[in-house]
Amino acid sequence: MNAKKTAEPSPEHIARSDRKRLAAEEGARALADVERQAIAVRANMTRLREVREAKEAADAALRTTLPAHAPKKRPRKPPR
């Protein structure tokens, strides 16, 4: 084995380090994108939950103001 290191890195070493650097940058960008999407999904879920709860509250208030419906009686079948 050669114990000495050359002062200049080989072209393979430069290419390998460039690939590693690019992969790290792309990975960081991908993680940031995933985090942004997760934040957007949580914000949308919160918005939809608030809309649903407001609608349920409005429906409940409407039900209390309307008179209760009497259940319909089932007509009897005429005997044969």
| Radius of gyration (C-alpha) of the chain in whole angstroms | 34
State the pTM of this model: 0.57
Please work out, in degrees rounded to the nearest 5, the angle formed at the alpha carbon of residue 53 by the alpha carbons of 48 and 54.
100
d(CA 34, CA 28): 10
User: What local confidence, expressed as pLDDT, does residue 47 receive?
Assistant: 98
Q: Give the pLDDT of the chain (80 residues) as one tens digit per residue.
A: 466 666 788 999 999 999 999 999 999 999 999 999 999 999 999 999 999 999 999 999 998 888 777 778 888 888 77
Characterize 5-42 residue by residue with b for buried, 16 or more Cβ atoms within 10 angstroms of its Cβ, and e for exposed. eeeeeeeeeeeeeeeeeeeeeeeeeeeeeeeeeeeeee
